[in-house]
Amino acid sequence: MTVFNVAEERNQTPAVKSLIHFNNAGASLMPNVVVEGMKNYIDSEVSQGGYETARDFAKELDLFYDHTAKLINSGSNEIAFVESATVAWQRAFHSIPLEKGDVIITCVSEYASNYIAYLQLAKLKAVEIVTIPNDDNGEIDIQALESAITPRVKLVSIGHIPTGNGLINPAEKVGAITQKHKILYLLDACQSVGQYPINVEKIKCDFLSATGRKYLRGPRGTGFLYARQETTLGLEPLSLDLHSAEWTDLDSYQMRSDAKKYETWESNLSAKLGLSLAIHHLNLLGIEHVQERITFVANYFRERLGALAHIQVMDTGNIKSGIVTFINEKNDAEEVMKYLFKNKVNVSVVVASSSLLDLQDRNITEAVRASVHYYNTIDEVDKFISLLEKF
Ligand SMILES: Cc1ncc(COP(=O)(O)O)c(C=O)c1O
């Protein structure tokens, strides 16, 4: 049972009156509380200056760490604010000392930017990439993962919810293995934070990267990194500045001991406040209720799409997310997106290069991605289906 009021959430999301937004895996619509908070912050910068506003809002800005920690059950000192999931992921990844012959384990549904980073390190440092196959459900095969562990494995790095597939990888089962073998575990939670409950104590990951604009409903250009204090304390980010470290003597510096060592001094503070407000808003609604609502709408969506003769739903996985992908046999994905956009419906297109192994594995060159959030309705899905029937 959804306990929050969907109608009220829609009232706080003005665009839903004039369009159907099924592009939440791209960027979801920000609630009024986020937009107003950011406008207010910028107004203050305009009237009294950027540094002066930062001083005025110091307490509010600091709450970002508490709200985020609450959402994922971490310590506030284990959170860094950054510009995107990619920045969070790269800062974590490049702080891990990997050498020739070390093995990085990943999964079939890995995101392109992450895989490109493995390939780059394979080229520069001769590390080895091992991709664990999927099980029959399309999720990372846990037994194959366990069998692939050798003393050379230095990192297990996987995506939780992929960019172009409705599946949810069993992040906790992966964490049980990495913990048992004392291997670092980096989880790309870009598409899962905000739509699926994340508890880093249960997942047992050492790093978790996330973005603000997708399921968290924050502004663009925001993200965060979780870095487990206990296991990442000794790691040094590839580049440091006067915020992540202190210049203590002419030939020495002292790096910070908390996750802020992954930040830089300058950042977009109105956006940071916006993300903080978005996460607080989500905490008030309750991620379990949000997940329940998203699952309800997405399952109904897949059911209705599955009944259309010319549509093939492409999602794999035992448990599914709010990301619904499908192929329209009559038109290519780009045409479908343009047609829907003309009819005031937002979706996006998944192309093979965004998650090459996964899409090649399933023989897909491109698919339509309709990603739902808790503010979407059954009525919107019905309108979507009747538009597809006419196309
Ligand atoms: C699974 C996954 N990981 C990482 C990213 C990168 O996120 P960002 O664009 O915020 O860097 C995306 C973006 O779509 C994604 O879907």
Is 224 within 8 Å of 79 (Cβ atoms)?
yes
Residues framing ligand 1 (Cβ under 6 A): 84-86, 111, 159, 162-163, 188, 190-191, 211, 223
Tens-place pLDDT, residues 68-98: 999 999 999 999 999 999 999 999 999 999 9
> Mean pLDDT across the stretch 330-342?
96
pLDDT digit string, tens, across residues 181-198: 999 999 999 999 999 999
As a whole number, mean pLDDT of residues 26-49 equals: 98
Ligand 1: centre distance to CA 84 (Å): 8
Q: What integer pLDDT is reported at residue 188 of this predicted model?
A: 98
- pLDDT mean over 336-347: 98
Residue 44 C-alpha to ligand 1 middle, in angstroms? 31
What pLDDT, on a 0 to 100 scale, did the predictor assign at position 3? Answer: 79
Q: With contact defined as beta carbons under 8 Å apart, do 306 and 166 qualify? A: no
In sequence order, what are the residues at sequence separation of 6 or more whose Cβ sits closer than 8 angstroms to the Cβ of residue 11?
A: none
At 2 the pLDDT is: 61
- pLDDT above 90 as % of the chain: 98
Residue 252 has pLDDT above 70, yes or no: yes
What distance in angstroms lies between residue 194's CA and the mean position of ligand 1's atoms? Answer: 13
Query: Mean pLDDT of all residues in the chain?
Result: 97
pLDDT at 1: 52
- CB 232 within 8 Å of CB 253: no
Residue 113's Cα: distance from chain center in Å? 13
pTM beyond 0.95:
yes
Average pLDDT over residues 211-238: 98
Closest atom, ligand 1, to C-alpha of 164: 16
